[in-house]
Chains A and B, each alone.
Chain A
Amino acid sequence: MGFVTIPNKDDDGHIEHIYREKTDKRILKKNPWRDYRLHVTVFVLVIIAELIGTIEIPLSKDISITIMPLIYTIILGLAFYLAKPIKWIQRKQARIAEGAMMLFIGVLIAKLAVSSGQSISLIFDMGPALILQELGHLATILVLPIALLLGFKKEAIGMTNSIGREPNVAVVVDKFGFDSPESRGVFAIFIIGTVIGTIFISFLVTFSLSFLPLHPYAFAMASGVGSASMNAAAIGPTLAAFPGMETQIEAFAGFSNLLSFCVGIYIVIFVALPLTEKMYNWLEPKIGRDSIMPKKEDE
């Protein structure tokens, strides 16, 4: 796991600027727009996805599962990269796509912000719920015992203190050092989250919408998990489930993601991480198993 490359704090010294580093590295030094094969491929994927459109699979007379075009584009995008015959989408294109994506996040954020601005008084009215739901993210710590039962040791601290996206990785690396077991844990969550996170969360949201009788605004606020792509994937099914409430849902989703971004990181530093360590010290002697992490062998 040690070979995983993640922008670390030495590059810049500020957690908040991880997006900037990635964007600059990938975009400024190259001419990413020139890679027409990448953009044409995306264009074709989008047309295919929009033409297929939303598919509803009824499970019973009240409950149905919605599969949206956004799912097709993620899965097709990944499939195009992995498919051997498709030679024009390789590692280089993936790097450009990743850098470009860091810029396109801005457009997504701008659209959500416009909805937030439009509904600003509603946001103030819902202030308590919006702020307190950020504490709901602490629920990740409940996964710690399971990680211990599966045989993780200190990796579990890195794995379960937060959702493990870029800012969280930086916090853990900053605190425990690049080669620590805690950092290996958060890297693992980062990599797996990158590959399956968006797809998983869109299904999770679809099922939650069908089976949990929660307030529409609660679903909207929860979709701001602190990752732009997961936020995007989570909003889709929520918008589809509550037609006529688009602006409110976008407003809450956008604002809650913004809160996760500004406030969430401090919750991780000052509450989640210390709490995870306390839990670990308390639980590890009780339920810890033999470590399943491989002894450091020659890589």
Chain B
Amino acid sequence: MPDFIDGSENVSVHGIFNWILLLAIFSVIVVIGNFIGYQHPISDSLVGMAILSLITLAGVWMERYLPFNISSIIYISVMGIVLAFPGMPTSEILLYYVSKVELLSIVTVFLAYVGIGMGKSWDEFKALGWRAIIITILVIASTYLGSAFVAHVILVMTGVPA
């Protein structure tokens, strides 16, 4: 089992090919949803999704190839932030196309996969009692409300207008 996950062997053209195809499928679904939900032109949003997919691909690739112990989430975030930096030569064209893809269109498709994926945990979920469900709900609510209240207090204290 462990050799399954050991990085070196897995990083193959085959793997990258899989990532590209998956991202392409994802992009097409997002773009069509984006067109139905927000009427953004298909060609522009397709370019937007291609840009986001490229950033993702680069991040996922870097996580596995570069000799640093850094997660792809960090690589992707840093690339996205830097490329969109005001004043960067890339920022204007990037913002034009990426803004044509609504975040919610991505989220809607993403959560469809999440919904199907979480079905797998259903039997284990049913085996856990109502007490654990209550605690989970309270934990999620407190983590969200806790940070909302702290953020609100700091924003008000530092005088940020709403």
- A interface residues (Cβ-Cβ under 8 A, vs B): 1, 3-4, 10-12, 14, 16-17, 19-21, 23-25, 27-33, 38-39, 41-43, 45-47, 49-51, 53, 68-70, 73-78, 80-82, 89, 91, 93-95, 97-98, 100-101, 103-118, 120-121, 125-126, 128-130, 132-140, 142-143, 146-147, 150-152, 156, 159-160, 162-164, 188-189, 191-198, 200-201, 204-205, 208, 212, 214-219, 221-226, 229-230, 232-236, 239, 246, 250, 254, 256, 258, 261-262, 292
Interchain Cβ contacts within 8 Å, total number = 435
Contact B26 A197 (CB under 8 A): no
* Cα–Cα, bound, A250→B103 (Å): 8
Partner of A16, one of B71, B103, B127: B71
Contact of A114 among B73, B94, B120, B144 (CB under 8 A): B94
Residues B134 and A195 in contact, CB atoms below 8 Å apart: no
Closest-by-CB residue of A relative to B29 is A43
Say yes or no: B71 contacts A17, CB within 8 Å: yes
Report the minimum CB–CB distance from B141 to chain A (whole Å): 6
Known contacts A156-B135, A163-B140, then 11 further A-B pairs from the complex at CB < 8 Å, ordered by chain A residue: A77-B115, A80-B116, A97-B114, A139-B147, A140-B143, A143-B135, A143-B142, A189-B136, A217-B160, A222-B145, A235-B104
Report the nearest A residue to B69, measured CB to CB: A14
How many residues on B have C-beta within 8 angstroms of the other chain's C-beta atoms? 109
* Beta-carbon contact of A233 and B49 below 8 Å: no
Q: Is B25 part of the contact surface with A, judged by Cβ < 8 Å? A: yes
Q: List 6 A-B contacts (CB under 8 A).
A: A12-B5, A28-B15, A110-B56, A133-B151, A222-B145, A232-B111
Answer whether residue B66 sits at the interface, using C-beta atoms and an 8 A cutoff: no
Among all A-B residue pairs, the 3 with the closest Cβ atoms:
A77-B115, A113-B80, A139-B146
Distance in angstroms between the alpha carbons of A32 and B23 in the assembled complex = 11
Instruction: Classify the interface of chain B: helix, strand, loop or mixed.
Output: helix
Chain A residues with CB below 8 A from B156, complex form: 215
